[in-house]
């Protein structure tokens, strides 16, 4: 799983760079041309890039299987992403309101230039290229997040097509009504992207990522494995972050368990858990010394290092 996640994170990074390319191209045209359709398409690119960045960070952290998953970092990232997304969205709707207000007051006429369709046409090529890259990577790696992102890239292609058609039709007809229509269509795509960011961020910030059903499923599947090693499952927490799971498992072990035995048990637990679902990307296992009352209830004396020799004397 670790190697597959690393390869998947590279594909995601490549897709993110393509998104940034789309942002830069749209930005250049937005600076020189006063075009509400192109401006809306630009905001959509920015939101998609922000969403892709959060997913990229998440899958990169999950690929480091030898390290604990830093939920604190994810919390900070989600908070910053939420603030940034809301700020961009507020700025966009302020400008959209100003545009619509100008149309209603009769001071705004269609200023769409067909030349700006070059930017959105390049956007179609970028999103399709991203789609085929992610889809191909999903076929090789089998990482579910790539399938989700490839579907999103295909929807972005539709948005770019809508922007291109809207610019061409509006420039030919000089119709403000058509300009508003295609702007509102693209605004729906923006709202869809923002919804993904807000939903994930709110769940992480409020701590509602814990999936009790999946946690119980994992608990039931590893209890026998842990008990055969003389231990007991202390707790299991399966948290859904975006479209994948991160699992934290705490296990009680006999204090006399060797490091080799503990490491072997950890590998078995990780293997067992990741086989339960393709959506489980990262498993953290922590060991704790078994409490004395539990050891005695199982008919075993609890000895700590050096104490066995003292009791024999």
Query: Where residue 103 falls among pLDDT bands split at 50, 70, 90?
Result: confident
Is residue 298 within 8 A of residue 305, CB to CB? The reply is no
Is residue 54 within 8 A of residue 200, CB to CB? The reply is yes
> pTM score, two decimals?
0.76
Pairwise pLDDT comparison (250 vs 107), residue with the higher score: 250
The CA–CA distances, whole Å, from 94 to 9, 100, 226 equal 36, 10, 57
Is residue 56 within 8 A of residue 13, CB to CB? The reply is yes
Query: Where residue 310 falls among pLDDT bands split at 50, 70, 90?
Result: very low
Query: Where residue 305 falls among pLDDT bands split at 50, 70, 90?
Result: very low
Residue (of 137, 115, 160) closest to 22 by Cα position: 160
Is residue 181 within 8 A of residue 43, CB to CB? The reply is no
Ramachandran class of 78: left when φ > 0, alpha when ψ lies in -120 to 50, beta otherwise:
alpha
- Tell me the pLDDT tens digit for each residue of 4-37: 777 888 888 888 999 999 999 999 998 888 788 9
**How far is 293 from 64, CA to CA, in rounded Å?**
36
* Residue whose structure tokens are 């507020």: 90
**Average pLDDT score over residue span 215-231:** 88
Is residue 52 within 8 A of residue 156, CB to CB? The reply is no
Ramachandran class of 106: left when φ > 0, alpha when ψ lies in -120 to 50, beta otherwise:
left
Q: Mean pLDDT of all residues in the chain? A: 82
Residue 23: its pLDDT value, please? 93
Residue (of 53, 45, 46) closest to 77 by Cα position: 53
Which domains, from first to last, does the chain contain?
A: 2-205 (no CATH), 212-312 (3.30.70.1350)
Is residue 157 within 8 A of residue 131, CB to CB? The reply is yes
- The length of the chain is 313
Q: Which two tokens stand for residue 104?
A: 């209603």
* Residue whose structure tokens are 């597959």: 4
Residue 235, beta-bridge partner list:
250
Query: Where residue 177 falls among pLDDT bands split at 50, 70, 90?
Result: confident
Q: Which two tokens stand for residue 185?
A: 């269509």
Residue 21: its pLDDT value, please? 93
Pairwise pLDDT comparison (63 vs 80), residue with the higher score: 80
Q: In the structure, how many helices (H) and strands (E) does the chain have? A: 10, 3
Residue 195: its pLDDT value, please? 82
**How far is 12 from 15, CA to CA, in rounded Å?**
5
Worst-scoring range by mean pLDDT, 58-62, 91-95, 298-302? Answer: 298-302
Pairwise pLDDT comparison (20 vs 279), residue with the higher score: 20
Residue (of 10, 105, 92, 94) closest to 46 by Cα position: 92
Could you give the percent of the chain with pLDDT greater than 90?
23
**How far is 200 from 73, CA to CA, in rounded Å?**
14
């Amino acid at each position: 799983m670790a190697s597959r996640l690393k390869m998947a994170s590279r594909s995601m990074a490549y897709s993110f760079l393509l998104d940034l390319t789309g942002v830069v191209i749209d930005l250049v045209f937005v600076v020189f041309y006063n075009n509400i359709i192109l401006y809306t398409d630009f905001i959509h690119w920015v939101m998609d890039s922000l969403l892709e960045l959060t997913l990229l960070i998440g899958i990169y952290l999950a690929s480091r299987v030898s390290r604990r998953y830093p939920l604190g970092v994810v919390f900070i990232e989600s908070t910053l992403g939420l603030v940034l997304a809301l700020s961009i969205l507020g700025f966009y709707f302020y400008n959209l309101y100003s545009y619509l207000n100008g149309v209603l007051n009769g001071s705004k006429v269609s200023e769409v230039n067909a030349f700006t369709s070059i930017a959105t046409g390049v956007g179609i090529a970028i999103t399709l290229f991203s789609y085929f890259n992610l889809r191909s990577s999903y076929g090789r790696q089998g990482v579910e997040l790539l399938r989700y992102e490839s579907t999103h890239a295909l929807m972005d292609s539709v948005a770019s097509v809508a922007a291109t058609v809207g610019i061409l039709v509006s420039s030919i007809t000089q119709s403000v009504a058509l300009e508003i229509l295609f702007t509102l269509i693209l605004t729906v795509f923006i709202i869809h992207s923002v919804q993904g960011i807000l939903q994930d961020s709110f769940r992480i910030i409020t701590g509602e990522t814990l999936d009790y059903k999946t946690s119980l499923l994992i608990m039931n599947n590893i209890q026998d494995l842990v008990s055969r090693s003389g231990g007991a499952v202390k707790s299991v927490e399966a948290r859904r972050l975006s479209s994948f799971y991160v699992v934290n498992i705490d296990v009680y072990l006999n204090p006399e368990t060797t490091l080799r035995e503990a490491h072997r048990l950890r590998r078995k637990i990780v293997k067992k858990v990741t086989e339960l679902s393709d959506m489980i990307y990262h498993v953290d296992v922590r060991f704790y010394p078994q409490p004395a009352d539990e050891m005695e209830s199982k008919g075993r004396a609890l000895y700590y290092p050096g104490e066995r020799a003292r009791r024999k004397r």
